Amino acid sequence: MNSNSKRLIFGGLILSFFVYSYFVYTSGTDNDKGVHLINEQSKRGKLLFQNYNCTACHQIYGLGGYMGPDITNVISAKNKGPVYAKAFLQGGTPRMPNFHLNEKEIDELIAYLTYIDKTGISPIIDFKINYDGTVGQK
Ligand code: HEC
């Protein structure tokens, strides 16, 4: 092998290293992770979520109690949403206690749930293996 073809192979490997690194470090970075939704209102919602121990019955990202459903994506789920979630918080149900929250507290909890909704998907219903070996949602 002459030194020209060695240089060509070496150059090609270096180039592919940079191209591959570019894709590894930039793929998925433009996903909306809800950072812009962290504000005073959603922070107070988080405190309420902790004070009322919602997680005793509900899961976020699949973690928590199992008496109620996973509420990670209740805000964006089909046929659900903020108004739907609000109804549960306003009145409770025979199985979920009525916490007698005021409108401000309910809006804070909804703001928190709206933020959570953007941070992940749970439960993962269907997934696929991407061409580069990473796992994504179908
Ligand atoms: C004692 C258990 C319990 C606690 C504590 C509880 N919930 Fe629930 N929640 C439930 C159950 C059970 C349901 C399902 C509705 C039903 O079966 O009555 C539910 C339903 C919901 C729903 C609708 C979910 C869906 O996908 O249909 C939301 C939103 C919700 N709860 C939010 C909250 C929040 C926020 C808190 C804390 C302030 C909370 N819950 C505390 C038991 C609980």
Q: Can you give the residue range of the structural domain that contains 10? A: 1-30
Q: What is the structure's pLDDT at 28?
A: 75
Indicate if the pLDDT at residue 1 is higher than 80: no
CATH number (domain holding residue 111): 1.10.760.10
Report which protein residue has its CA nearest ligand 1's atom 6: 54
- Is the separation of the CB atoms in 85 and 113 below 8 Å? yes
Question: Given the CA of residue 113, which atom of ligand 1 is nearest to it?
Answer: 35
Indicate if the pLDDT at residue 11 is higher than 90: yes
| Three-state SS at 102 | coil
- For residues 49 and 95, state if they share a domain: yes
- For residues 97 and 81, state if they share a domain: yes
Mean pLDDT of 94-112: 97
- For residues 65 and 96, state if they share a domain: yes
Structural domains of the chain, count = 2
- For residues 81 and 23, state if they share a domain: no
- For residues 39 and 99, state if they share a domain: yes
Report percent pLDDT > 90 for the chain.
Answer: 75
Collect all residues with Cβ–Cβ distance below 8 Å to 85 and sequence separation of at least 6. Answer: 71, 74, 75, 110, 113
pLDDT in tens, 61-84: 999 999 999 999 999 999 999 999
Contact residues of ligand 1, CB 6 A cut-off: 49, 52-54, 56-58, 67-69, 71, 74, 80, 85, 88-89, 93, 95-97, 99, 109
Q: Which of the four pLDDT bands, split at 50, 70 and 90, describes residue 135?
A: confident
Q: How far apart are the C-alpha atoms of 70 and 78, rounded to whole Å? A: 14
CA of 92 to the centre of ligand 1 (A): 8
Indicate if the pLDDT at residue 88 is higher than 80: yes
The whole-model pTM stands at 0.82
For the record, the structure tokens of 102 come out as: 């005021």
CA of 98 to the centre of ligand 1 (A): 10
- Is the separation of the CB atoms in 57 and 64 below 8 Å? yes
Mean pLDDT of 14-39: 89
- Is the separation of the CB atoms in 46 and 119 below 8 Å? no
Mean pLDDT of 37-50: 97
For the record, the structure tokens of 10 come out as: 């070496």
